[in-house]
Amino acid sequence: MAGPTIDALGQFSLTTGLGNLGRAVNFTNSNEAMLGAAAVIVAVFALGLKSKALVPGRAQSLVEMLYEFVHNMCVDTIGEEGLRFFPLVFTIFSFILLGNLLGLFPYFFAFTSHIAVTLALALFVFVFSTGVGFYTHGFKFLKFFVPSGVPTWLLPLLVPIEIISYLSRPVSLSVRLFANMTAGHVMWEVFAGFMLLLTASLGVVGAFASVVPLSLNVALAALELLVAGLQAYVFAILTCLYLHDAVHMH
């Protein structure tokens, strides 16, 4: 049967971006989106820092709100020592947030829907926080895997569980973001494709019937906006939590 089919996953396929130069160095379309996200962040900062007014304007308020939001998140979760990691957490948070948000626009690539990207970010957070733990506590950091106040005979059981749960952190961290973003975009594509299918197979009746998937997509847009912000927040707060564990060991 000829006609439109639902290509739900085509939106995630990687191509090279930036023309011939990009093709030569394997600069992908997802990297284009990352560059866009970073450019938007820097542009918002430049705009917000233009006047440096005592009573901030709109752009300055936006940047200050973002700053204080992540700042408070760092201080509340990690403690005062968390301010060392504030620029890192801010970079990760703003990068993922902008990636999620820009990915919601049609024809924009959602790079957070790639497991390679989210896993790389999560592995970086994992390795970094583990490094901070060993840097702060030395080999005493291994005590982190020995829960206190537990009978000795339970330890052979509990220590492997602790280690497995610790090692599963990057997996859950990366899959959570990847799955949420992929699911949202797949659903969008499926419902949109369904509209084309309805119209192609049922004609005028199908065109009217496609109001249903269209309204579903509108509702889904609101949900995806929420998910985009929420998942960036979850990633950042879990990063803070892991850093808290590394700094305080409990």
Q: Is 187 in the site for another protein (CB under 8 A)?
A: yes
What are the tokens at 177?
């973001």
- The CB density around residue 123, as the number of other CB atoms within 10 Å, is 15
Q: Is 40 in the site for another protein (CB under 8 A)?
A: no
Q: Which of 65, 74, 106, 130 is nearest to 188 (CA)?
A: 106
As a whole number of angstroms, the distance between CA 66 and CA 232 comes to 13
Q: Is 30 in the site for another protein (CB under 8 A)?
A: yes
* Shortest distance in whole angstroms from residue 91 CB to another protein: 5
Amino acid at position 168, single letter: S
As a whole number of angstroms, the distance between CA 7 and CA 149 comes to 55
Amino acid at position 1, single letter: M
* Shortest distance in whole angstroms from residue 105 CB to another protein: 19
Q: Is 94 in the site for another protein (CB under 8 A)?
A: yes
* Shortest distance in whole angstroms from residue 199 CB to another protein: 20
Residue ranges of alpha helices (H) inside the chain are: 19-24, 29-48, 58-78, 86-103, 115-137, 155-167, 169-209, 211-248
Q: Mark the segment that binds another protein (CB under 8 A) among 72-80, 90-98, 147-155, 160-168.
A: 90-98
Interface with another protein in residues 227-246 (CB under 8 A): 227
What are the tokens at 231?
């998942």
* Shortest distance in whole angstroms from residue 49 CB to another protein: 5
Closest CB to another protein among residues 40, 158 = 40
Interface with another protein in residues 124-163 (CB under 8 A): none
Binding site for another protein (CB under 8 A): 5-10, 12-16, 26-28, 30-31, 34-35, 38, 41-42, 45, 48-49, 52, 54, 56, 60, 63-64, 67-68, 86-88, 90-91, 94-95, 111, 113-117, 120, 176, 178-180, 182-184, 186-187, 190, 223, 227
